[in-house]
C-alpha cells in the first residue's frame, strides 16, 4: 500500500495534489511519501518483533539526506556500500553503531573513515579485504567488528544483473570455504568476528531462495560456534521484491518473510539484521513527467516525455516495468490509446515502455511512473546535459524540495578548461 491515490479525479501524494508540485517545481521530478517510507520500515519492525534485530535501510536504493533522516529518526540502521554512503548516513545523524558497511571493494581510506567515525560492523567479502581491514584497524589502535559475507550458491531467480548469491557471482566467499576463512579472520589482530552475512540478490519474488540461503547460514552458525567463533549476529541482506505491475504481481509480504526468518533462525539466539532497500523506498516514490509531443508513427504512436533514461534508467538497464498513470484520473470506461513511451535522449534504449495502453494523451499532460522511489534518483545521470531532476518529499499536507534542479550554468561550471585551451579559444585567427 502507498499514499499515491486519486482524490476527486486528481493524483495526490498524501494530502498534496501532484499537479500543484508540478506547477511549482516543473517536470520531471521525483516525489516521495514520508508516510509510505515509514509504513514500509515499520512493516519490517513488526515482522521481526520479539527477535533482537536491527532493520538497516539500504542507502543505495535512495540516499537523499531527507529520506535518511526520516528513517534514521524512526530508528532505522543503515546499510552502506561506499565511503560516500557512509558519509551520507552520518550526515543524516545516524550513529555509527547503527551503520553496517557492505560492498565488495572497500578501500583502505573508506575503512579508515568508518573506523574513525564509528561503525557497527563491516561485512567483508574476501581474504585480501580482511587483511587490509585488520592492518587499517591495527594502525588506528582499534579492532574492527566483522561478519564475513558468504555466498550460499542459491539461485535467487531474479534479473541476472541483480542476482548475487550464485557461485559465479563476484560476491562473498564460497560457503564451503567459510570455516577456513573464519579461522583466518580470528587469527588477524585487528578483527573481531561478530557474525555471518548473506545477501543473495534484489527484487526476489519468492521466499524459497531466501529460505535455502538462511538454512545454510543456520548450519554454518553451528559449525562456526563449534570451532569457537562467537557468532552473535546474522545479517540476512535485503532483496525482498515489490509489485511493479499492480495488476498481476503479489510478492511475499514482510510479515511472511519475518515468519520464515523466525522458523529458520529464531532458535539460534542471534541478533538479526536485515538490509531492505527497495521494499522501503520503491513504492514510496513516483516520478512525474510531462508529455512534450505525441508522434504518430507508421505502425505505432510515440508518447514523447520530458523524462528520459538518464532520469530513470531501470527500464533500459533491467527491462523493468513501471506502471504509468495519468495525473488526471481517467473515467472508468475511458478510451485507451496504445503508445511506445519514450524520452528525448538520442538512443533507442531510451524507451520506458512499448505498446502501453493509456488514456489518449496530449502535449502538456502529466503522467506518473509508479514504484520509482528505489534505484531511481540514485542511478540518474546528466547524460545529454539534462540536469538531475528535483526530488520532493511530502508529509501529510506539507511538501518540500529535498534536492533542487541544478541550473545549466552550475553544470557547465563543474568543468575546467585548462589554461592552454582557454588562451587560444576562438581568438587565434
Of 23, 114, 100, 419, residue with least CA distance to 276: 100
Q: Any contact of residue 172 with ligand PLP (CB under 6 A)?
A: no
Q: Output 14 or 275, the one with its CB closest to ligand PLP.
A: 275
Q: Return the residue of 77, 152, 190, 277 that touches ligand PLP, per CB under 6 A.
A: 277
105 among the known binding-site residues? no
Report in angstroms how near the CB of residue 275 gets to ligand PLP at its nearest.
Answer: 4
375 among the known binding-site residues? yes
* CA gap 10, 278 in Å, rounded: 26
H-helix or E-strand containing 58? strand 53-58
Q: Any contact of residue 98 with ligand PLP (CB under 6 A)?
A: no
Strands 233-235 and 391-395: unpaired
Q: Any contact of residue 79 with ligand PLP (CB under 6 A)?
A: yes
- 3-state DSSP helix/strand/coil percent for the chain, to nearest 5? 35, 25, 40
Q: Any contact of residue 237 with ligand PLP (CB under 6 A)?
A: yes
Q: Return the residue of 53, 60, 106, 120 that touches ligand PLP, per CB under 6 A.
A: 60
**8 Å CB contact between 31 and 392:** yes
Q: Return the residue of 33, 202, 283, 395 that touches ligand PLP, per CB under 6 A.
A: 202
- CA 346 from chain centre, in angstroms, equals 27
> What's the grid cell of residue 85?
554512503
Q: Any contact of residue 278 with ligand PLP (CB under 6 A)?
A: yes
190 among the known binding-site residues? no
Compute CA distances 69 → 95, 98, 147, 340, whole Å.
11, 13, 26, 38
347 among the known binding-site residues? yes
Report in angstroms how near the CB of residue 125 gets to ligand PLP at its nearest.
Answer: 9
Q: Output 31 or 147, the one with its CB closest to ligand PLP.
A: 147
> What's the grid cell of residue 61?
536504493
Q: Total residues at the site for ligand PLP (CB under 6 A)? A: 18
Compute CA distances 354 → 135, 298, 380, whole Å.
53, 15, 21
Give the range of 135-143, 213-221, 231-239, 413-421 binding ligand PLP by CB under 6 A: 231-239
Q: Return the residue of 239, 285, 315, 376 that touches ligand PLP, per CB under 6 A.
A: 239
Report in angstroms how near the CB of residue 255 gets to ligand PLP at its nearest.
Answer: 16
E-strand ranges in 87-165 read: 99-101, 121-124, 144-151
Binding site for ligand PLP (CB under 6 A): 58, 60-61, 79, 81, 102, 199, 202-203, 237-239, 275-279, 374
Amino acid at each position: 500500500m502507498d499514499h499515491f491515490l486519486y482524490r476527486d479525479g486528481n493524483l495526490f501524494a498524501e494530502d498534496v495534489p501532484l499537479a500543484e508540485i508540478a506547477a511549482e517545481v516543473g517536470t520531471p521530478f521525483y516525489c516521495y511519501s514520508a508516510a509510505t517510507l515509514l509504513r514500509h520500515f515499520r512493516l519490517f519492525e513488526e515482522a521481526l518483533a520479539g527477535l533482537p534485530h536491527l532493520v538497516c535501510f539500504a542507502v543505495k536504493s535512495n540516499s537523499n539526506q531527507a529520506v535518511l533522516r526520516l528513517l534514521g529518526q524512526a530508528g532505522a540502521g543503515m546499510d552502506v556500500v561506499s565511503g560516500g554512503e557512509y558519509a551520507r548516513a552520518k550526515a543524516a545523524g545516524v550513529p555509527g553503531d547503527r551503520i553496517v558497511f557492505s560492498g565488495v571493494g572497500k578501500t583502505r581510506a573508506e575503512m579508515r573513515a568508518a573506523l574513525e567515525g564509528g561503525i557497527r560492523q563491516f561485512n567483508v567479502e574476501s581474504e585480501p579485504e580482511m587483511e587490509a581491514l585488520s592492518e587499517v584497524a591495527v594502525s588506528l589502535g582499534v579492532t574492527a567488528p566483522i561478519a564475513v559475507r558468504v555466498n550460499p550458491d542459491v539461485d535467487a531467480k531474479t534479473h541476472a544483473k541483480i542476482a548475487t548469491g550464485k557461485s559465479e557471482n563476484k560476491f562473498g566467499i564460497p560457503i564451503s570455504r567459510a570455516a577456513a576463512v573464519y579461522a583466518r579472520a580470528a587469527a588477524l589482530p585487528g578483527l573481531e568476528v561478530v557474525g555471518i552475512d548473506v545477501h543473495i540478490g534484489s527484487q526476489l519474488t519468492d521466499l524459497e531462495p531466501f529460505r535455502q540461503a538462511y538454512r545454510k547460514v543456520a548450519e554454518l552458525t553451528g559449525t562456526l560456534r563449534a570451532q569457537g567463533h562467537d557468532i552473535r549476529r546474522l545479517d540476512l541482506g535485503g532483496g525482498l521484491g515489490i509489485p511493479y505491475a499492480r495488476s498481476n504481481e503479489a510478492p511475499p509480504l514482510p510479515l511472511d518473510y519475518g515468519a520464515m526468518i523466525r522458523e529458520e533462525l529464531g532458535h539460534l539466539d542471534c541478533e538479526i539484521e536485515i538490509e531492505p532497500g527497495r521494499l522501503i523506498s520503491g513504492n514510496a516514490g513516483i516520478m512525474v513527467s510531462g508529455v512534450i509531443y505525441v508522434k504518430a508513427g507508421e505502425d505505432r504512436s510515440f508518447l514523447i516525455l520530458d523524462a528520459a533514461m538518464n532520469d530513470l534508467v531501470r527500464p533500459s538497464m533491467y527491462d523493468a516495468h513501471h506502471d504509468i498513470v495519468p495525473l488526471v484520473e481517467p473515467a472508468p470506461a475511458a478510451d485507451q490509446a496504445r503508445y511506445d513511451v519514450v524520452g528525448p535522449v538520442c538512443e533507442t534504449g531510451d524507451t520506458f515502455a512499448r505498446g502501453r495502453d493509456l488514456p489518449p494523451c496530449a502535449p502538456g499532460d502529466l503522467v506518473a511512473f509508479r514504484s520509482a522511489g528505489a534505484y531511481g534518483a540514485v542511478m540518474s545521470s546528466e547524460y545529454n546535459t539534462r540536469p538531475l531532476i528535483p526530488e520532493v518529499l511530502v508529509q501529510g499536507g506539507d511538501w518540500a524540495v529535498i534536492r533542487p534542479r541544478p541550473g545549466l550554468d552550475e553544470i557547465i561550471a563543474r568543468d575546467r578548461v585548462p589554461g592552454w585551451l582557454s588562451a587560444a579559444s576562438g581568438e587565434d585567427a
